[in-house]
Homo-oligomer: A and B are copies of this chain.
Amino acid sequence: MTYCVALKLDRGLVMMSDTRTNAGLDNISTFRKMHVWEKPGERVLTLMTAGNLATTQAVISILDERMKAPEEREPSIFAAPSMFQVARIVADTLREVIGRQADSGQKADAAFNATVLLGGQIAGGPVRLFLIYPEGNFIEASDDTPFFQIGETKYGRPILVRAFERTMSFEAAVKLLVVSFDSTIKANLSVGMPLDVALYEEGSLSLGTPWRMEANDAYYRTISEGWGDALKQAFDRLPDMELPTSG
């Protein structure tokens, strides 16, 4: 499993992904699920993947190769004129890779599936955030739904629903994601540290270096431990029920 979240704030994008992959419970590895492409002043693209690792690595490799051979006719996400066109290229690539596996005589084609979050900005256009499905279609984040999750989304969702605000600072947004990831990591063995984090400030057309939060990261530990206490205090302050029976 995997857990990735992208928040679309008024200030820009905040993206976080875990790094655990597993094929069974006893075959666990660490792989980067966040990929970043940047042409400073012109475009910033961030991509996070959930699903079959062979599929997502193939998608990333194809996108990478096309960028390095721009003279080829193949569409490159570095040449596409808009975020929408970038999303179409990624979606088509994803569908092709899955289709190639599914057509090759293997039966478990569902197992080749993957889902992608794509966020970024191209000069002249707004920040946009897309969720791309294995079928090759995609949806875009809106004012009503300004964040997307992929992978193991359920444990970490209630806090996002309750505490997310578009006007948040990047600092508060990272805190929110740490809480959401910590709840998920505590509940599902297939989501694990370290975490990759990327911030993109709208209009900057330049991405600060994404960084990795290790399991022993001081801030992560502060939030992970503090959140348990904070939750309990919040819980204790709510009124107990007056029971209709004596029990």
Contacts and interface: CB of A to CB of B under 8 A. Distances in A.
A24 interface: no
B238 A163 contact: no
A125 interface: no
Contacts of A186: 158, 161
A4 B233 CA distance: 25
A211 B244 contact: yes
A31 interface: no
A58 interface: no
Interface in A207-247: 208-209, 211, 219, 222-223, 226-228, 230-235, 237-247
A245 to B, nearest CB: 3
Given A199-B245, A247-B12, A247-B201, A231 B228 contact: no
A123 to B, nearest CB: 18
A170 interface: yes
A40 to B, nearest CB: 14
A137 interface: no
20 contacts: A12-B247, A154-B154, A154-B187, A155-B155, A155-B157, A155-B158, A158-B187, A161-B187, A170-B247, A172-B240, A175-B235, A176-B235, A208-B246, A208-B247, A209-B245, A219-B241, A222-B239, A223-B238, A231-B231, A231-B234
Given A12-B247, A154-B187, 15 more contacts: A11-B247, A158-B186, A159-B231, A170-B243, A170-B247, A172-B240, A174-B240, A174-B241, A174-B243, A176-B235, A179-B238, A222-B239, A227-B238, A230-B235, A231-B234
The 7 closest A-B pairs by CB, nearest first: A208-B245, A154-B154, A230-B234, A171-B240, A158-B183, A234-B234, A201-B247
